Amino acid sequence: MKFEPDDNQGTILDGLEQMIASLRIEPPKHPTTVAFSAELDAELGASGFLDIAREEEFTLLDAALVVERAARLPLTTEAASSALVGPLLEADAFQRPLALVRGSALAPARFLPQARALLVDADDALRLIAVDPARVEPVESLFAYPYGRLSSLDGLEVKTLDPALLPAVRRRWRLAIAVEAAGLMRAAIDTVVEHVTNRRQFGRPLGSFQAVQHRLATATMAMEATKWLAFRAAWSDDEGDCATAAAHAQDAIPTLTYDLHQFCGAMGLTLEFDLHLWSYRLKALLGEMGGSSAQAQHAAVHTWPRAA
């Protein structure tokens, strides 16, 4: 077993760090609940980092490393669907940002206001829709990602894909949830650790209180577990692994986000403090694909067919 990045992965991560450094990415200057950056998203798309799972010499795990790093940035981009679900689609026809939706093509989807393509898991059919931004109605949401829904499909190019792809799309979608959550958790924990190190009450740093240390330790365990489950799932691309990773991530999110906000006090409830840039996204991921109970059921059915 190897837990250190190999040479390829080291090269990718170094390259990504260089690009991030050159872009001088900073949290938004004005308080906002949705910190999507079209510029950063376009840069990431143009850089090729989101396409590596299509390349012979790279793997799905390499792509997962990119998504985890991108999720730690204070600005939101659509990296996960493009890098992990996108490679299932033919490269010629692929356009990003890519939005994903289950059930109705008219249901609200993350990133739809910016997306150029919408992949619809319509239970027994798979469709790829070329998105016309004029057809997208923004959906009010307090959960950091831009959400929108299509007003109608009239006149839009709708391509019907092979339904045999459906299980893979769902599997990669679950993987995308887990990988992105791992990155968000780490950035959020880093922010809180810095806060409780600097903030003093009762004459000492908040972080010196064991009640605070213990719960941050628990949050760190949840983050580490999410990360390694997600990387394992990216390595195996296995149905059960992907569902397990997503279930674990979504299961960990509520306690983790409450605790992280808790230790930043009322400051952590404001838009003037950066924690929300990651915690909001975690909250949105909490319910994706039916939430943790749906992923756990899927993992159980896959792993022990008698559970079906």
Q: Token match 């992105």: residue?
A: 180
Long-range interactions of 167-172: CB distance < 8 A, separation 24+: 167/239, 168/88, 169/85, 169/88, 169/100, 169/119, 169/121, 169/126, 170/121, 170/289, 171/237, 171/239, 171/242, 171/243, 172/84, 172/85, 172/88, 172/237, 172/242
Minimum CB distance to other proteins smaller for 18 or for 262: 262
Minimum CB distance to other proteins smaller for 231 or for 273: 273
Is 9 within 8 Å of 58 (Cβ atoms)? no
Nearest distance from residue 27's CB to other proteins, in Å? Answer: 14
* Residue of the chain from 68, 71, 87, 149 that contacts other proteins (CB under 8 A): 149
* Residue of the chain from 7, 24, 272, 305 that contacts other proteins (CB under 8 A): 272
Nearest distance from residue 276's CB to other proteins, in Å? Answer: 5
17 phi, psi to nearest 5 deg = -60, -40
Angle between helices 239-262 and 276-285 (to 10 degrees): 140
Nearest distance from residue 236's CB to other proteins, in Å? Answer: 26
Binding to other proteins by residue 103, rule CB under 8 A?
no
Nearest distance from residue 71's CB to other proteins, in Å? Answer: 18
Binding to other proteins by residue 151, rule CB under 8 A?
no
Binding to other proteins by residue 304, rule CB under 8 A?
no
Q: Which residues fall within 8 angstroms of residue 95, CB to CB, at 6 or more apart?
A: 116, 117, 130
Nearest distance from residue 106's CB to other proteins, in Å? Answer: 10
Nearest distance from residue 84's CB to other proteins, in Å? Answer: 20
What is the footprint of other proteins within residues 49-88 (CB under 8 A)? none
Residues 127-146: x where in contact with other proteins by CB under 8 A, - otherwise, as a string: ------------xxxxx---
Q: Which amino acid is located at 270 in the chain?
A: T
The two tokens of residue 85 are: 């679900």
Question: How many Å apart are CA 239 and CA 225, to the nearest integer?
Answer: 18
Q: Please name every residue paired with 78 in a beta bridge, in sequence order, or none if there are none.
A: none
**Residue (of 242, 100, 141, 261) closest to 195 by Cα position:** 261
The two tokens of residue 274 are: 């950066």
The two tokens of residue 253 are: 């999110």
Minimum CB distance to other proteins smaller for 60 or for 99: 99
Binding to other proteins by residue 209, rule CB under 8 A?
yes
Residues 212-231: x where in contact with other proteins by CB under 8 A, - otherwise, as a string: x-------------------
Binding to other proteins by residue 3, rule CB under 8 A?
no
Stretch that binds other proteins, among 49-57, 69-77, 188-196, 203-211 (CB under 8 A): 203-211
Nearest distance from residue 301's CB to other proteins, in Å? Answer: 13
Minimum CB distance to other proteins smaller for 77 or for 257: 257
Q: Please name every residue paired with 109 in a beta bridge, in sequence order, or none if there are none.
A: 148
If DSSP codes are grouped into helix, strand and coil, which group holds residue 5?
Answer: coil
Nearest distance from residue 76's CB to other proteins, in Å? Answer: 15
The two tokens of residue 243 are: 């569902």
Binding site for other proteins (CB under 8 A): 31, 33, 107-108, 139-143, 147, 149, 201-204, 209, 211-212, 254, 258, 261-262, 265-266, 269-272, 276, 280, 283-284, 286-287, 291, 293, 297
